[in-house]
A and B are shown apart, each in its own frame.
Chain A
Amino acid sequence: MSHLLPEAVQSMIPVFIQISYLVAMALFIIGIKRLSSPATARRGNQLAATGMLIGLVVTLFDRQIISFELIIAGLIIGGTIGAVAARTVAMTSMPQMVAIYNGFGGGASALVAWGEFARAGDGVVTWAGQDLTTAGLGILIGSLTFTGSFVAYGKLQGIVSGRPITFPLQNYFNLLITLAILVLIGLFVIDPLNSHLFWLIFGLSLFLGLLTVLPIGGADMPVVISLLNSYSGIAASMAGFVINNNLLIISGALVGAAGLILTNIMCQAMDRTLGNVLFGAFGGGDETQAAEETTDKSLRKTFAEDVAIQCAYAKKVVIVPGYGLAVAQAQHTLKEVADSLEERGVTIKYGIHPVAGRMPGHMNVLLAEADVPYDQLLDMEEINPEFKTTDVVLIIGANDVVNPAAKSNPGSPIYGMPILNVDEAKQTIFFKRSLSPGFSGIDNELFYAETNQMFFGDAKESLQKLARAIKELED
């Protein structure tokens, strides 16, 4: 686009581009900062988007760019797909959606490294060693982010089995492949014209993405997506090294750091180390065995009318929502129940476990969608001291996050995970479809506790019945 301008202006363009990049970078940093408070978060996201727009538009003035057909076509195609997906995706599918976007981002970085390599043609022999190294690393990280994210998507969407898919010596095998790729990158730096090396690096990296995510259980996918999010940032940074663009390097590094911090927070919430998540092949315990064990214990079943009375005459009711609530699309019905209880003077609070839903904060988004004010949503540390003074806890579609085995049974796979101490409340009521174990495949002793009642049925139908029963009380 630059050739359209007078020559005096043309000479200013590189400076203009760099200054605009500086502005874009500042907008990214301020944007992320504003994302840290609910009141300013939306504005923060818009600022970051503005930064992206500025970065894109000024790049079109780069002297290297002489044709625009493909650029415009690509922006239209990608923009349409992205926008349609963003508008139509259900809030419950948000983790999958982030996984897909992330996969595309990582894939794009790998393609940029490849494209830059292809653009140089035989000229790559003039590339410095560090450029070839970062190109190789960009392809490695970008490609494994691409395939890894799609496996994560498949697991969350139920296309790929959520259970860990393992084979003997898997971790060693993966380590071997990783080392092999690094050695190949080394050889590639020495002999960049050998296209076999290039394709081997590409192919093995794609394969590595599959291998590293397949052995991880479905319940751990959020951690994986968060880590892959960090990777896609690093991949973008590597692409920045290859084309020597500081905006890419900086933004990529910001996202890389963000992803790592978030990944760490998620692991802490489950009291596990990242290594354990990645290599532990956790979850998917033997369901049949769990079912057999349960047959000789007694349950207390309850019904809508009974739950309605208990709640309506309680002082304080705490609601513990889980992913099952979201699957049943019952957030709005839940809000209706909460409203009618509040009208009767009952204090309503929501206890949100850090890993409720499928990602930290996912449940908050789902409840916000149903107009639940965010000051009623309490984090685990805030709600746990309150259970002692709580009359009724309604546990809807959650299981593992309230399972006392995490505190009492060292043999349990979730032992050590911080949980919501609902067993301290006077009464707990589980809303469940059946006795099936949770996402991680573990039975829950709390079902059989004396202070617990089971309200079987689809979460949404049960809540609808409960809403009607509470209304009938008022007559």
Chain B
Amino acid sequence: MEDLIFNLFIFVLASFVGFELISKVPPTLHTPLMSGANAISGITLIGAVVVAGSLDAGVARWIGLAAIIFATINVVGGFMVTDRMLEMFKKKGDER
């Protein structure tokens, strides 16, 4: 129970941090932001790695493998596509 209460504390605090952080983003960046935040939600990859890497389990490993594939698509694709978008933003007269 203590774990749960502690976890609820950090869940609620992190949510408040998220609200504060994101309320200040200009509309221009909403699409990259959505895509970047989406890539971060691929953090579930860590859970997938734990599930797939524990040898003692049979079926669970394969479920873990599927989870890793899904999460990695989310993470790698998400960050790369966000980078591709942001790479294009430049000010008038900016030279690369």
Binding site for B on A (CB under 8 A): 28-29, 31-33, 35-38, 41-42, 44-46, 48-49, 52, 55-56, 59-60, 62, 64-68, 70-71, 73-75, 77-79, 81-83, 85-87, 89, 91, 94-95, 97-98, 101-102, 104-105, 107-109, 111-112, 114-116, 118-119, 121, 128, 130, 225-226, 229, 232-233, 235-237, 239-262, 265-266, 352, 354, 357, 359-362, 364-365, 368-369, 371, 373-377, 379
Contacts and interface: CB of A to CB of B under 8 A. Distances in A.
Contact of A70 (B16, B17, B25, B61): B61
Interface in B17-66: 17-19, 21-57, 59-66
Interface SS majority for chain B: helix
Interface of B: 1, 3-4, 7, 10-12, 14-19, 21-57, 59-94
Contacts, number: 399
Given A56-B45, A255-B40, 15 more contacts: A32-B40, A85-B81, A94-B81, A97-B77, A101-B38, A101-B73, A102-B38, A105-B42, A108-B42, A108-B74, A115-B52, A232-B38, A254-B17, A261-B23, A359-B31
A365 B85 contact: yes
A225 B34 contact: yes
Nearest to A358: B31
Nearest to A32: B21
A71 B49 contact: yes
17 contacts: A36-B24, A38-B29, A45-B36, A48-B40, A74-B64, A77-B72, A94-B85, A101-B77, A108-B48, A109-B47, A112-B67, A114-B63, A229-B38, A253-B11, A254-B18, A257-B19, A364-B29
Interface SS majority for chain A: helix
A359 B71 contact: no
Q: Which of A45, A81, A114 has the most CB of B within 10 A?
A: A45
A66 B93 contact: no
Given A70-B64, A257-B18, A64 B40 contact: no
A246 B40 contact: no
A38 B52 CA distance: 39
Contacts of A259: 34, 37
Contacts of A95: 31
Contact of B91 (A233, A254, A362, A375): A375
Nearest to A368: B88
B73 A81 contact: yes
A149 B3 CA distance: 32
Given A102-B38, A239-B44, A361-B32, A253 B18 contact: yes
Contacts of A59: 46, 49-50
